[in-house]
Each structure stands twice: as structure tokens, then as C-alpha cells.
Amino acid sequence: MSYYAGEYDVAVIGAGHAGCEAALAAARLGMKTVVFSISLEAVANMPCNPHIGGSSKGHLVREIDALGGEMAKNIDKTMIQIKMLNTSKGPAVYSLRAQADRKKYQMEMKHTLEKQENLDLKQAEIVDIKLENNKIKSIETDVGAIYNVKTLIVASGTYLKGKIFIGEYSKESGPDGVFPANKLSESLKRNGIKLVRFKTGTPARINRKSIDFSKMEIQKGENNIIPFSFEDKMKNFDQVDCYLTYTTAETHKIIKENLHRSPLYAGVIEGTGPRYCPSIEDKVVRFADKERHQVFVEPIGLDTDEMYIQGMSSSLPEDVQIAMYRTLPGLEHCEFTRPAYAIEYDCIDPADLKLSLEYKTIDGLFFAGQTNGTSGYEEAACQGLIAGINATQKIKGKEPLILDRTEAYIGVLIDDIVTKGTNEPYRMMTSRAEYRLLLRQDNADLRLTEKGHEIGLISDERYEKFLQKKKKIEEEKARLEKTIVKPTEEVNKFLREVGTSELTTGSKLAELLKRTEITYASLEAIDKDRPKLPEQVREEVEIQVKYDGYIKLQEAQVEKFKKMEKKLIPEDIDYDDVKGICLEARQKLKKHMPHSIGQASRISGVSPADISVLLVYLQARKK
């Protein structure tokens, strides 16, 4: 029997990385919020890799923090190793990556939800969504509790009709053996929502005592610990080691001989897998010329001896997995604690969403995370944050927060999946961001803190500290621009020592800092009046001065982009009235209903000629 259980402003289905951010954002913005998890043991779970950040993903975590989200703070509390990636490639692609204590990460985030005012955390499976006049009305749990809700955020991850595959064996299951959500898929379909089938996978876990680390390369963390959150001050801690080993010719031989037993190659798995995080059998087949592949052996936490074998996800049978894992140096006698598996699940077509992450044809229904066809904890979390903010903005009658491609990696991600859709699990990469020199992880606070404060997720106290930091950066840049050093023997001696040409005339400190051989720190030798500044300020000053010319070029490109984004397309446009655009463009424009000329120009199948015709039409319509 069903019963009325209460009313909420915002309800969130799923308490993974997307659901946690969505629920916290809505509650912190004053909404009466509830978040449901199919199991409270799965809150903020890391069913795959036990780390946060990495190339481009570190940018997302910093942006989440700058807007007032939680992921950065949670990993700062629970990390067991940290390092900065891509330091040889320039600051545009520097990315923090931290190894997490998986259980501690879960527990900390769960406790954060439990303590949050305006937020209720409940264990239940949502089995039905009810609409009234194409507007969200209520949701129902598997035990018959009905909640009236003003807005709903679906952040169900890989649980929708989840199915696990290990060789010939399969069963209906969510990640880590948690129950799947089977009935929610049917409810979404009944409400006219189109679902597609994707798949992902995870490697085996191995008992530490069965590994010979002497045959592997040690991967240590970095002593200069930089936190993810702009608010946190990190202290040194004893970092754990990770390890690197490689597949061998024997590994590849075993895989090739057993491909017929892989459900992926036997056609049993229907879902499309992630191109940029393939299974080991995929790697061996697609990159047949490669003699070996990297495999990272990573601890899952401080209070467990389970090790995660990064790079060896597989859907092969367990006996084949054991045989191939034991061909790797150091894993010859490894013992599994959990086998690798593939998981297939339902998700939506993100092209059916607005840029606010609200479903185009259902008022008050938002989607976030892997449900939107993305992969990765960080990609999920940033969508959850935006969905939580925009569900709140909708209730308050305010404009949604929409970040464009020039403002944030979050903007790139959402624009990509909404404008282009995705036919495989979408992963964020630095190469997807055209303006990545402006969208660095170090300046995420300069780009987004103001927006976070306007929305209400950044406190006045934090905002004031941010303004002080911003002021110090500008003052120091101005000082470097006006301070001139003369070609004295002391100055030229310093220049010779760092391997750069001597001065024959006076030079601004800013001009000297632009030289490759000179850093802000080394410049102190001839910069006697330098003020004492925090590390974050010094770093930002150095990057902004050194890359000033490139930054200005990219800012000019951004201006052109903004012009196209400002040319808005009326919501009531009838593309059948636009004569002269090709049939494919007409169909794509009708499907996507872009909000601006800029967005329309990024839709696959819409040519520059179609955009020209559309501009003429809009101009005529205006007159």
C-alpha cells in the first residue's frame, strides 16, 4: 500500500558523486532537500579507481570548489598521496591528482550529508516518477512512500538496470554488488524519456601480501603538498606509495586466445564502452603493435590490504583474469579479493537536456552524472553541483547558472554533451577546451568565486579573502611592471648564472620574468623590495606575467566567441520557416533547439552556410 510521506523542494535520486553535490548545493541554498540512495553504504562510493583529480579532472575539482561544492574539501581530508601531473607541459594542463582512502572518503561525505541543515538522507529505491501537465509532481519508493516534489534531480549513476558481466557469468547488479535500480528505467520510459545503453568496467582488486613490489617501479607522492580546495591549508602527512608494472607478451597471448570468452567480443554486452578508458582486451586488440601497457598498483586505503590494479579492467572470465594478471612482473602469485567486471546500464541522451541540465520537455526534471552518458567521479560531481544550483534557481524564479566554454571546464563538458550528445561514455580532457590557457586549475577561483558568491554558496568571509588575494595579485603585477633594474654587475652576474643574456640597458622586472630561464622565486636575488606574499599569489603572478602575450591572444578569441553566444535564438522559432538551410541542419536544429547562434554552430551537421542563413532569418524576424 502506498502512503503520503511528505513534501520537498528538491529531491535527488542517487547519492554518488553527482547526487551528493546536487543535494548539498540545494540544501545550502535554503531548499528543503532529500537525497535517496539504494544503499547508504554506497554514498560517495568509488567503485572504480580510488583517486580524485588527474589530467583535466583536477581542473573540474578546483572549479567545483570555487563555486562552493564539496568534492575538493572531501579529498583534502581523505587523501593518502598527492602529486601534480603534466608539470613538463606548462600551466594550462597542470592537474592535481590525489589517491583517496576510499572508505574514509565515503564516510566523510556521508557524514557531511547527515550534518547538513535542510537535507534528509534516506535509503530507498525510487520506482516511479509522476508528472502533472508535463511537470514533476511526485516520486514513489519501493515500499510505497510517496513524496511530492517541486523539482527532481536524477543522478542514478550506473544503477539503472545495471548488469554485471564476468565472462559467461552475468547478473543484475549495480557497482560493487549493490542492488540495481530496475523499475526507475521503466518509469522514465513511461514519461517519454529515451534511454540508451552504455557500459564501463573496473579492474580486479588484489591482496597486498600476494604482490612482489620489488619487481615494480615505485611511484611516490610530492612533498610540496598543494590542496584541492582554495580554502584549505595542507600539512605534510605520510604519503603511501603507488607502483608501476607492465603487461607482457604472455599477457597479450592469453587475452587473444580467450577473446571468444569475452562477453564484449561475443556480442553479449550491448552497451557502448568508454573510448578513453578501455578494457585490457580492448587495448590489446586496438593497439596490437604495442608490446606492453602500463599498469598501476594503487592502495585503496590505510586500513585495508586491498590494492587496485589500474589499467586492467576486463570482462573476461575469472580464471582467464587470474592467468593474465599473473603474467605481470610482481603479480606472479597474486590473489584476487574481487575480480574485474564490466557493467552495463541505462542512461539518457544528454542532447535532450537544456544547458541548465533540465530535461527539455519535462518541467522541473534535471539529470546529472553518469546518467547523462559521462564517465568519471569529477565529471559527475560538477554536473550534480550545476543541477542542484539550477533546480534551486528554478524554484526561486531566477535565471539558471550556465557556464560557457570560455569560463570553465564545467562549461565545456556540459556544452559538449548537450550540444553534440555522446555515443559513448564522455570523459573530460584538456584537448576538449579551446581556451585552456585561460581555464587553468590555478585560476579557477579567479574565474568562478564571484559566481559562487552571487549564487549563495560562497560565504561573505571566503569572498572577502578572495578579493584580498585578487588585489594582491594585481598590485604585485603592477609593481613588477613599474620596477626597473639597471644593468649593474650584480644584476648581470645573476643573469649569467641562470643562463640568460645580460642587460645593456634598464629592464622592467616583468620583462625579465618573461624569460624562460627566470622564475619568480629566482628573481628575488635582484628584487630587493619584494613584499611577502602567499604561495597562491606568487604562483598566479608568475603565470600571468610569463604567459601575458598568449593570454591576450586567447582573450581576443574569447571576444569573438562571446559575440556569437550573445546572439540568442527565440524559444518559439519554427525551423521549418527558415528557408535555405539543408535538411540535416533543420533536423538537428529542431532536435537540439539551441539557445544561441554560438551553440547552433557547434551542432554536428550544421554548416557555416546554415548559420549564415539562420542569421539572415533572425535579422529579418527582428525587423
State whether the Cα torsion 72-452-55-273 is positive or negative.
positive
Question: Three cell numbers at 59?
Answer: 581542473
Integer Cα distance of 95 and 62 in angstroms? 10
Proportion of the chain above pLDDT 70, given as a percent: 98
Handedness of CA 40, 41, 47, 51 (dihedral sign): positive
**Residue 514 gets which letter from DSSP?**
T
How many C-beta neighbours within 10 Å does residue 504 have?
8
- Report the distance separating Cα 78 and Cα 141, nearest Å: 33
Confidence of residue 271 (pLDDT cuts 50, 70, 90): low
- Cα 153 to Cα 170: distance, rounded to the nearest angstrom: 30
Task: Write the pLDDT tens digit of every residue in 456-505.
Answer: 999 999 999 999 999 999 999 999 999 999 999 999 999 999 999 999 99
Rounded to an integer, what distance in angstroms lies between the CA atom of residue 338 and that of residue 322?
11
pLDDT for residue 441: 95
**pLDDT in the model for residue 571:** 87
Mean pLDDT of 500-511: 95
Kindly indicate the confidence band of residue 274, based on its pLDDT and cuts at 50, 70 and 90: low
Cα dihedral: 485, 488, 494, 499 (round 10): 90
Q: What is the DSSP track for 103-115? A: HHHHHHHHHHHHH
State the pLDDT at residue 224. Answer: 84
Q: Which residue has the higher pLDDT, 366 or 278?
A: 366
pLDDT bracket for residue 530 (50, 70, 90): very high
Is the pLDDT score of 322 beyond 90? yes
Predicted confidence at residue 621, as pLDDT, reads 84
Predicted confidence band of residue 87 (pLDDT cuts 50, 70, 90): confident
- 37-55 average pLDDT score: 95
Rounded average pLDDT over 225-236: 90
Residues 579-594 have a mean pLDDT of 90
Integer-rounded Cα Rg, in Å, for the chain is: 26
Angle among Cα 572, 413, 415 to the nearest 5 degrees reads 15
**Of residues 36 and 274, which shows the higher confidence score?**
36
User: Which 8-state DSSP code applies to residue 8?
Assistant: E
How high does pLDDT run on average in the chain? 94
Q: How confident is the model at residue 236 (pLDDT cuts 50, 70, 90)?
A: confident
Query: How far apart are the C-alpha atoms of 351 and 604, rounded to whole Å?
Result: 12
Residue 108: CB partners within 8 Å, gap ≥ 6? 74, 77, 78
Q: For 86, list phi and psi in degrees, rounded to 5.
A: 65, 25
Where are the strands (E) in 203-263, listed by range?
A: 205-207, 217-219, 242-246
**Interval 417-468: pLDDT, tens:** 999 999 899 999 999 999 999 999 999 999 999 999 999 999 999 999 999 9
Domains of the chain plus CATH, in order, are: 205-344 (2.40.30.260), 460-551 (1.10.10.1800), 567-622 (1.10.150.570)
DSSP E strand stretches across 490-577: 507-508
Cα–Cα distance measured from residue 585 to residue 516, given in angstroms and rounded to the nearest whole number: 47
Q: How far is CA 514 from the centre of its chain?
A: 32
Confidence of residue 235 (pLDDT cuts 50, 70, 90): confident
* pLDDT value of residue 558: 93
3-state SS, one letter per residue, for 389-441: HHHHHHHCCCCCCCCCCCCCHHHHHHHHHHHHCCCCCECCCHHHCCCCCCCCC
Pairing between β-strand 294-299 and β-strand 306-310 as defined by DSSP bridges: antiparallel
- Predicted local confidence at residue 273, as pLDDT: 66
Query: In degrees rounded to 5, what are phi and psi of residue 441?
Result: -70, -25
Cell numbers for 623, please give them.
525587423
**Cell numbers linked to 146:** 510517496
The predicted model gives 556-584 an average pLDDT of 90
Alpha carbons 596 and 555: distance in angstroms, whole number: 20
- 416 residue type, one letter: D
What is residue 85's predicted lDDT score, i.e. its pLDDT? 92
Nearest to 92 by CA among 549, 442, 428: 442
CB 246 within 8 A of CB 293: yes
Q: Is the pLDDT of residue 304 over 70?
A: yes
Is the pLDDT at 508 greater than 70, yes or no? yes
User: Mean pLDDT across the stretch 13-28?
Assistant: 98
Q: Give me the mean pLDDT over the 587-616 stretch.
A: 90
CA distances from 211 to 17, 163, 332, 334 (A): 31, 30, 8, 6
Q: How far is CA 432 from CA 102, 111, 376, 427, 429, in A?
A: 29, 35, 16, 10, 6
Low-confidence winner among 77-91, 376-390, 441-455 (lowest mean pLDDT): 77-91
pLDDT score for 264: 73
